[in-house]
Amino acid sequence: MSGKIKKHGNSHAQHLAAQAEFRRRFLLCIKAVCAACGAEDAFTLIPTADYKALFCARGLPMQIHPAPGHTIPDYLLHASRRFLQMLLKSSTYLPFEHGTPLPLQEFYIAGFGFHCYVSNATGNYNPPPELVSRLSAYSQSDGGYSSALNELKKNMNFLHVVVNDPQSALYWFEYKGAARFSIQQMFGIEYTLLMHKVVPPQKHVLMDGNVRPVIRLGWSIPNQGIEYLSVTAEQMQLPETPPQKTFDVYFQSHVLQRMHERLDCLYVNLQHHCLMQSFLRPAVHRQSDGTLLVEAIMVGDKIGYFVVDVQGSMLIVRTFLFLTNAGTPEGDKLRSLYGLQRRDTEFLAIDKLSAFLSDDLSITEVLHPLLEIIGYQPCSHFLTQYKEFVLNNEKRQTGKILMQYLGLNTDNDFLTSLEESNKTPMRHGMNLVEELEPAMNSETNE
């Protein structure tokens, strides 16, 4: 019995300590807002009696909950909450036009309520005139509400990238803010992201003599829902079709499989995002044999092509080709100029993105003409931009191997180099949620 009482006592003490820590953080946030407005000492002008009123308008930690009627897997909820907290700490908002950026988290903890207090937006406060004067630019603006909301929407978009799987389930987040009341008084503003789940529609179509499933391509819009993509005949450069005729975009699961194999070092979340982004404003190429290609766009750069077919009122994405694959303009040029056939690119593993993250490519000048064929420029997008989004990649020597294979180097040990390079196979693109899982498990075990 004594053990139970002791445990209860410890729990109560921890609760009081947590409350005290939250109050301390809340006051520090208000002080930071004053400093961001160029008037840090204005914090000292707040009457002690007003701190209680301010604390009643504090923002509670933002939460993610399933929307009513929606069942969300626990691991996705947990991962979404973790990512949201990371984003709120790293994202910033401007309290007013000429202010200093502050973490978005501080707006939702204290910035909104403090602006209501200083500007007396609700008519319930009476801030000291000297305080209002010192913070006049802040009180006469919207307190950073617009910039905070825009930044939050960007973070919601990033959460969509993290959790969405266009093949099986799409999720979208809806922002809600509401006062939370106790029996006697308001004790905080509750900010919530409601998580909705939508299963994308499927159809079965006849392709190559077989009936195959295809999935509607869609993506999430914050606070709105799922937007399913369509393209026009004009966008797809179909001269024999009325320009404004629309085609709903569908894809085969085979597309994702090929992306996982060929964009082997990119997180699968980013691969999925690439699929959607590429059809918002499609860049179309028509091969000499009539094949329609749509550029696969990643971080603003071309990373490959999607092979598409028109069937009735549908545009069907059949597969994904990396830049060096046969059937792409770049791949065909490589074969024409250097004689590199499919078996060569597979043997050299240059049919995958990971090969072009090799550090020695940028310093191997003799290879630059070959690399420029596929749009690679020394120290450009493959090396500078993609490295921010890739999984840990083992040390590769693509430059050395290519030189030896093409006879540009008298050293004849390229087979040994290639064997060493391929001893540890590159793992396929990993999900951001999966990478976070060990940390989540660790927290659970603790």
pLDDT digits (tens, 9 = 90+) for 68-117: 999 999 999 999 999 999 999 999 999 998 899 999 999 999 999 899 89
Residue 48: partners with Cβ closer than 8 Å, 6 or more residues away: none
d(CA 207, CA 411): 49
Q: How many whole angstroms separate alpha carbon 85 and alpha carbon 105?
A: 8
Query: Residue 384 pLDDT more than 60?
Result: no
Any idea of the CA torsion for 145, 149, 151, 153, to the nearest 10 degrees?
A: 180
C-alpha–C-alpha distance, residues 305 and 293, integer Å: 6
Cβ distance 283 to 297 under 8 Å?
Answer: yes
For residue 125, is pLDDT > 60? yes
Place of tokens 């999720």: 171
**Distance between CA atoms of 286 and 308, rounded to whole angstroms?**
10
Q: Which of 343, 373, 332 is nearest to 356 (CA)?
A: 373
- Residue 328, CB half-sphere, CA atoms under 13 Å: how many? 25
**What's the CA gap between 115 and 147, in Å, rounded?**
14
Q: What is the pTM of this model?
A: 0.83
- Cβ neighbors of 127 (< 8 A, separation 6 or more) are 46, 50, 117, 118, 120
Nearest Cα neighbor of 422 from 444, 397, 445, 405 is: 397
pLDDT greater than 60 at residue 412? no
pLDDT grade for 427, boundaries at 50, 70 and 90: low
Q: Are 250 and 216 in contact (CB under 8 A)?
A: yes
Question: pLDDT tens across 158-217, in order?
Answer: 999 999 999 999 999 999 988 776 544 456 788 999 999 999 999 999 988 899 999 999
Query: Distance (Å, rounded) from C-alpha 29 to C-alpha 394?
Result: 43
Handedness of CA 236, 238, 242, 243 (dihedral sign): positive
Count other C-beta atoms under 10 Å from residue 309's C-beta: 15
**What integer best gives the mean pLDDT of the chain?**
83
Confidence of residue 377 (pLDDT cuts 50, 70, 90): low
Residues 6 or more apart in contact with residue 362 via CB below 8 angstroms: 378, 379, 383
Region for residue 188 given its phi and psi (left: phi exceeds 0; alpha: psi -120 to 50; beta: otherwise): left
Return the structure tokens found at 235. 């966008």
- Residue spans of the domains in the chain: they are 14-196, 202-322, 329-432
Contacts of 225 (CB under 8 A, 6+ apart): 172, 196, 198
Contact criterion met (CB below 8 Å) for 276 and 264: no
* Single-letter residue type at 47: P
Mean pLDDT of 355-377: 74
Mean local confidence (pLDDT), 337-364: 78
